[in-house]
Structure 1
Amino acid sequence: MAWNDNNNKNPWNGNNQTPPELEKVIKDMKNKFDGFLNGKKSSNTITPKIPSNGNLKYILILILFIWLLSGIYIIDPAEKGVILRFGAFQEETSQGPHWHIPYPIETLNRINVEQIRTSEIGYRNTVNNNRRFGSNVSSESLMLTKDENMIEAKFAVQYKINNVQDYLFNVVKPDTTLRHVSESAIRQIVGQNTMDYILTEGRVNIADDIKIKSQSLLDKYKTGLLITTVNMQDAQPPEQVQSAFSDAVKAREDKQRLINEAQTYANDILPKSRGKAVRMLEESKAYKSEIVSKSEGETSRFKQILAEYEKAPKVTKERLYRETMENVLATTSKVMVDSKTNNMMYLPIDKLINAKQANAQVTIQESSIKQNNQGSSNVRDIFRNRGGR
């Protein structure tokens, strides 16, 4: 129907009237809505006004508009949004503004995928008066090792959500499942190692093995969780055997201390012994070289004397005789007296003997030195005698 039909009436039921202002329309809607909610006051009762069909239409449009606006939501950078339509998965949204069909058709679940969560196994941390206290859970911490010893081990498993759909729909309680899986893996790894290894150098390796084993089971169950770190908070024997274990640890430390002391002594004495052995070897080599050289020199001297003896036997005999007598008489006490004189002389023979014995050692040393150069001096004397003769 054209606007100018029906006696030239326009859609606003007026003759050549302009459309109402938007502000006036909103104001009229507000007044009608307030009148519908508040009603008409009287002296005794409040009688609500029944809106007309036109006013009810505006109210329904406003309610529908507000309902549609309730579907707008914003996802933070650390979150993931999961839209469920009548309880079934519809879509997964990332950070930023989004819109979904409002409740009850679709519902929104916000999941923080960057939050690091902690599962405490063997202990529980409680906060009281802004102080953190740790309580022991014996049912979780007591474990049996490979060498049939009991220990109390406490672990902290840190994890985060890796797959939102698996976390929400595959497992009923994924956090509880992670606790049970981690405890099972801990008992398995601890049972495969000895007590000393767990308490000493194996702490890091055991934590890594537990992480790998637990993550493998979580992936098999499709829990949507990712283990970031596994920390061994504490590992020690049960309280009932603490004193015996302390004695064993002390004995082991004393053993290691004695081993270190022995190693230190060996490191100190062995180089000295090796150095002394090397020095003795070098001294023996030097002594050998000295004896060989001296023997070769004596041989050479003898050959030279032999050659001169063959040339002049009488002179050589005389020279050898004199040298021999000189060496013999040098170490004896002797007094030379002229047999032709008849005068009585006083000879202090005892003092002469004592003085001679005191100089005997010096004479022996000098004679040994003299013998070293005797060969060359004898050759020179022989040639000198022959020249003089």
Structure 2
Amino acid sequence: MAWNEPGGNGNNHDPWSGGGDNRGKRGGGNDQGPPDLDEAMRKLQDRLGGIFGGGKKRGGFGGDGGGKGGSGFFIVLVVLAALFWAGMGFYTVDQQERGIVLRLGKYHDTVQPGLQWNPPLIDEVVKVNTTRIRTHDHRSLMLTADENIVDVDMTVQYVVSDPMQFALKVRDPGDSLAQSSESALRHVVGTSEMHNILTEGRDTLALQVQERLQRYMENYTTGLSISKVNIKNAQAPRQVQDAFDDVIKAREDEQRAKNEAEAYANGIVPEARGRAQRLLEEANAYREEVVSKATGESSRFKALLAEYQKAPEVTRERLYIDALQEVLANTGKVMVDVEGGNNMMYLPLDRLAEKQPVRDSAGRSVRLDENTLRQITDQVLEETRQRAPATSSGLREGR
């Protein structure tokens, strides 16, 4: 039966309303009705006002107990927010890096590797790698001091030596390095000749560019340190490369010819000087020998003259014997002519010298030497004189 039919429940009310005595009231008795949205919103506003200290103190559900609970909840939120904020400040700096601390946008400190902490939202940390070797390549056409064009390919190796200057002093250190490399290279190439740049002057060119580029980096406070500058290639432009190759080959041939000529001169000149010095020494020695020999002969002649004046016959005989001995000593055969006889005495001195050793009276072998032969010759001559004194005297007078 419907709720509004006559004789139903006798109250002629909807199911959500109360009894007859509580007609027009909501929530009265044991009857259930739909939720009141306005009442729920008021209760929520009262609770939020109690948490933030702006609500009314009511008894029951919105009384003092609700205000104390809201204050504790707020403290918990504050503590959690503080812990989260503090945890955001921890960070790690790698061993190859350095940390640049900016406090409210201003440089504050440089931190070392390890675990660090800085207040977040206040400090900003910029990490800079200070050990990695960075490379910049540069290539361009340049004019040399002798007004030739050369194509130079260069590589610059550098590291960050001052992280604070690298991060804060210059807006773009890499671009500053590129512009400075161009300037330093053009200055050095512009003061050098092309021959030196293309041949043995590359090492010197690299050192000069490195020194000048390092001065530029220090003046610009970029915080960069130039480790090495390498000139990878230096050549003439491609359009005239063949002509320059011919020129280089001609210069190399010229230098080789000069070196060969110098080597030949270094070998000939000392040898000629040595021969000239040797001739001078031989001439001086011959002069000394002739002078000394002449001096000795004159001294011997003076001494012989003194002896001859004392005993002319004996001295003359002795001179004759010495002359004969000197002549016979250089010949192998001696012929002795004896006056009054038909035979000529023959002394085979050459054969006597070539014979086998003879034995003496004691049985020992004796080899005939020059002195022995002279003694034998003297004995033979003496024997000949004794046998034919007249003949010997005739021979002497004839001579």
Please, what TM-score do these two structures have when normalized by structure 1?
0.58
The question of whether the paired residues in 1 share the 8 Å contact of 2:154 and 2:229 is answered with yes
Counterpart mapping for 1:218-229 below 5 A: 218-229=217-228
Distance (Å, rounded) in 2 between the aligned partners of 1:161 and 1:306: 107
C-alpha contact (below 8 Å) 2:152/2:235 kept by paired residues: yes
Cα distance in 1 between the residues matched to 2:117 and 2:304: 128
Residue in structure 2 matched with residue 73 of structure 1 by the alignment: 91
- The one of 135, 138, 142 equivalent to 1:121 is 138
Q: Which runs of 5+ in 2 are unaligned?
A: 1-68, 328-336, 340-391
Which aligned pairs between 1:215-294 and structure 2 lie closer than 5 A?
Answer: 215-294=214-293
In structure 2, the CA distance between the partners of 1:68 and 1:276, relative to structure 1 (3 Å rule), is same
- 1:1-389 to structure 2, matched below 5 A, reads 53=70, 58-59=76-77, 61-103=79-121, 105-122=122-139, 141-304=140-303, 306-307=305-306
What is the Cα deviation at residue 301 of structure 1? 4.9
Give 1:100 deviation, angstroms: 1.5
Measure, in 1, the Cα distance between the counterparts of 2:128 and 2:317.
126
Cα distance in 1, alignment partners of residues 143 and 163 from structure 2: 36
Match of 2:261, SS state, is helix
C-alpha spacing 1:230/1:301, structure 2 compared with 1 (3 Å): same
- Going from structure 1 to structure 2, the CA distance change for 1:161 and 1:297 (only over 3 Å counts) comes to closer
Name which of structure 1's ranges 169-178 and 279-288 shifts more when overlaid on structure 2: 279-288
Question: Structure 1, residues 65-108: CA drift from partner, whole Å, max 9, x if none?
Answer: 223201101212221112234433333212222212224x4322
Deviations 1:144-172 (A, max 9, x none): 11111111112211222222232222221
**One-letter code aligned to 2:250:** A
Q: Which moved more, 1:92-101 or 1:296-305?
A: 296-305
Q: CA RMSD in A?
A: 3.5
Q: Which amino acid aligns with 1:113?
A: T
1:304-335 deviation per Cα after TM superposition (whole angstroms, max 9, x unaligned): 565466567899999999x9xxx9xxxxxxxx
| Whole-Å separation in 2 of the counterparts to 1:218 and 1:290 | 81
Q: CA deviation at 1:192?
A: 1.0
| SS of aligned partner of 1:101 | coil
d(CA) in 1 for partners of 2:128, 2:135: 16
The number of aligned residues is 259
Q: Which residue identity does 1:101 align to in structure 2? A: P
Partner SS, residue 164 of structure 2:
helix
- In 1, the alpha carbon distance for the partners of 2:289 and 2:177 equals 86
Distance 1:311 1:172, change over 3 A: same
> Are the structure 2 counterparts of residues 318 and 209 from structure 1 closer, same or farther at C-alpha, using a change threshold of 3 Å?
closer
Report the alpha carbon displacement of residue 58 of structure 1 after superposing the two structures with TM: 3.9
Give the greater-gyration-radius structure (CA): 2
% of aligned pairs identical?
44
Mapped to 1, the partners of 2:231 and 2:308 lie a distance apart of: 99
Residue identity matched to 1:252: R
Counterparts in 2 of 1:315 and 1:160: CA distance versus 1, 3 Å: closer
Question: TM-score, length-normalised on structure 2?
Answer: 0.56
> What is the aligned partner in structure 2 of residue 49 from structure 1?
none
Cα distance in 2 for residues equivalent to 1:221 and 1:68: 38
The equivalent of 1:46 in structure 2 is: none
SS across alignment from 1:282: helix
C-alpha separation between the residues in 1 aligned to 2:92 and 2:237? 52
CA deviation map 1:36-83 (0-9, x unaligned): xxxxxxxxxxxxxxxx94657645543442232011012122211122
Task: Give the counterpart letter for 2:293 in structure 1.
Answer: K
**Structure 1 SS opposite 2:180:** helix
